[in-house]
Amino acid sequence: MHFPTREELRARNTRKWTVHPDDVLPAWIAESDFATCEPVKDAIRDAVEKESFGYTPATSDLPDAVADFYEERYGWRPNPDWITYVPDVVRGMLLAAQYLTREGSAVIVPVPSYPPFLEIPKTAGREAVYVGAEGGLDLAEIEQAFADGAGSILISAPNNPMGYVYEADFLNQLVDLADRYDARLLMDEIHAPLVYDGKHVVAAGLSEKAARVCVTVTATSKAWNIAGLKCAQMIFSNEQDWNTWKTLTGVAKDGTSTLGIVGATACYREGVPFLDEEVDYLRANRDYLIEELPQRLPGIKVTKPAATYLLWLDFTDTPLAADPAGLLLKHGKAALNDGSFFGPGGAGHARLNFATSREILEEVVERMEKAYKAVS
């Protein structure tokens, strides 16, 4: 993998490297530090040369590119005619919660959760029901929430922030519950390309029943780091959802970028060699942290992720327990995500982004150790 210098990373002028002063090393928001995939840059350069700056085209190759990638990578081919785009995954999940679930029904949010998911129920005018997610989802707890009237559940698959991968048997049981209680599984598969252990299973592809209860949203923004291009993909797996989607106004669903369609298509069509190399590099970074952090910060509990480039860290038995992210920033100049922003159960935790060079990652660990010693 190739990496820009720190100066070049700051010059990108994106959120990860601009929120904190230059003496802070960022390991927080889910942006990666890899040099961008060359075929993706080439495709965008070509679009810029053609001055493709207007509204999105009436048709594109992106739905077919998504279907081909899903078939080759995950073994299930969605119907390209039922694939469309939205600006980002959060918008897609919000629209699914608003328009593809029982009217007025509560939304289940597993916690700790990707922070924007905590805002989706309120934004959709729904009640939020929290279920525990640390260590895995509890089917009995989810069934109780469905029995009490919840009409959907937001699932990041693979999980963010803990990085576990859902197996087919579990997903089939979840599908059965959703079918029994007339509920929907709203699946965020944005991290699905980044799996180290096991295999990503597309819930919607498991059965006709699964296709009926699932709505799938994905994007190239994590695996290829192009979130700013604003193009996520909605993958519908039944005709009823597709027909409902077509009734929504542009005010609700528009906002995808023309350059985003170009970039996403290039990722799926030409970005697999880059992706495979990236996964190998990230796996080595993950393994380094799993071994190193408990030695350098005694008492820390590290959840080993099977996927994603995010590490969920439990500091509750360390001197940093009161405010892990704040103390790491204050005493070590290392910026991690504050666990409390991930909802109930997040206090005393932090999330670390390891999608960076080994050089930077080693320095992040050194700074974390410095902070640990400073408050011990």
User: What pLDDT band is residue 42 in, cutting at 50, 70 and 90?
Assistant: very high
In degrees and rounded to multiples of 5, residue 153 shows phi and psi of: -140, 135
Q: Give percent above pLDDT 90 in the chain.
A: 99
pLDDT of residue 351: 99
Distance CA 188, CA 234 (A): 10
In degrees and rounded to multiples of 5, residue 26 shows phi and psi of: -85, 130
Regarding whether 257 and 355 lie in a shared domain, the answer is no
3-state SS string for 335-375: ECEEHHHHCCCCCCEEEEECCCCHHHHHHHHHHHHHHHHHH
Report the SS3 class of residue 265: helix
Domain count, the chain: 2
Regarding whether 156 and 128 lie in a shared domain, the answer is yes
User: What pLDDT band is residue 8 in, cutting at 50, 70 and 90?
Assistant: very high
Regarding whether 196 and 90 lie in a shared domain, the answer is yes
CATH number of the domain that residue 19 is part of: 3.90.1150.10
Copy the structure tokens of residue 143: 């069934």
Regarding whether 340 and 204 lie in a shared domain, the answer is no
Per the prediction, the chain carries an average pLDDT of: 98
Res. 104: pLDDT tops 90: yes
Distance CA 112, CA 160 (A): 8
Regarding whether 300 and 216 lie in a shared domain, the answer is no
Res. 258: pLDDT tops 90: yes
Which residues span the domain enclosing 191?
A: 40-270
Regarding whether 135 and 59 lie in a shared domain, the answer is yes
Q: What integer is the mean pLDDT of 62-76?
A: 99
Res. 135: pLDDT tops 90: no
Terminal-residue alpha carbon distance, the chain: 37
Half-sphere exposure of 99 (CA within 13 A, CB side): 18
Residue with tokens 């785009």: 85
Q: Note whether 150 and 108 are within 8 A (CB).
A: yes
Q: What integer is the mean pLDDT of 146-158?
A: 99
Q: What integer is the mean pLDDT of 64-78?
A: 99
Tell me if 1 is assigned to some domain.
no
Distance CA 263, CA 221 (A): 10
Copy the structure tokens of residue 183: 């509920």
- Helix, strand, coil shares of the chain as percentages rounded to 5? 45, 15, 40
Identify the H or E element spanning 245.
helix 239-247
Q: Give percent above pLDDT 70 in the chain.
A: 100
Regarding whether 324 and 254 lie in a shared domain, the answer is no
User: What pLDDT band is residue 247 in, cutting at 50, 70 and 90?
Assistant: very high
CA-based R_g, the chain, Å: 20
Q: What integer is the mean pLDDT of 332-349?
A: 98
CATH number of the domain that residue 244 is part of: 3.40.640.10
Q: Which of 270, 304, 332 is the last residue of a domain?
A: 270
Regarding whether 15 and 60 lie in a shared domain, the answer is no
Distance CA 126, CA 27 (A): 33
Regarding whether 353 and 263 lie in a shared domain, the answer is no
Copy the structure tokens of residue 280: 């190998």
Regarding whether 189 and 328 lie in a shared domain, the answer is no
In this prediction the pTM is 0.97
Regarding whether 14 and 95 lie in a shared domain, the answer is no
Per-residue pLDDT tens digits for 259-289? 999 999 999 999 999 999 999 999 999 999 9
Tell me if 167 is assigned to some domain.
yes
Distance CA 223, CA 225 (A): 6
The answer to whether the bond into 87 is cis (omega within 30° of 0) is no
